[in-house]
Amino acid sequence: MIFPKYKNSIVTAASGIRWLRQILSASLVTVAIAFSLILFTGTPPALATLTDDRFDGTIYALYAGNGSLVPPKVKITDSFKRHKPVLLVFYTDDSRDSKQYAIVVSQLQQYYGREADFLPTLIDSLPPEPSPKVTEPSHYYEGFVPQTVILDQSGKVVFNEKGQIPFEQVDDAFRKVFDLLPRENSVALKRRVVNELNVELSNQ
């Protein structure tokens, strides 16, 4: 039983509690909306683009569609032991030139990936000073990206260029390494005639 003199106090207290709950709910909704606006409008869109120096991720997976190139599966030491040519490409993931050149490197791998070892090398992984050892990538790095170096079967540097190199220029260097016919005389990748036999370089 509620005495009449306390009835109004109880009703007033109940109304106050409901009012506080409404204010609290409205405040929580406001905070949630504000947080969402900050989260979604304050963060720049992560759109992959070839035309800037912004980091978007691993460029060989994003732009070249060839994530198998990185990290390299072998080391220069392994290539020397097997007498296989090496293609070293120095790059960074936040370089416009490196992004665009990654496509060329992937195209080259389609033709020469079975006969040569491809070693795209992230310069962030290199030591501050070049190594004196010819089996270390830093031995060949000259402070520029992209930089392309080809070592022949004997480990000799036969190609060393900086910047975005056309496919044809690197292809010409590989043709000399593998003793192939010049491009204008060979649509397919074919070795020079030896003992009246053409030995085809696999591009499968």
Please report the pLDDT score of residue 169 as a whole number.
96
Task: Choose between 148 and 39: higher pLDDT.
Answer: 148
Per-residue H/E/C for 50-71: CCCCCCCCCHHHHCCCCHHHCC
For residues 133 and 139, is the Cβ–Cβ distance under 8 A? Answer: yes
pTM: 0.70
Tell me how crowded residue 101 is: count the other CB atoms within 10 A of its CB.
24
Percent of all residues in the chain with a pLDDT value above 90, rounded to a whole number:
56
In this predicted structure, the answer to whether residue 146 has a pLDDT above a threshold of 90 is yes
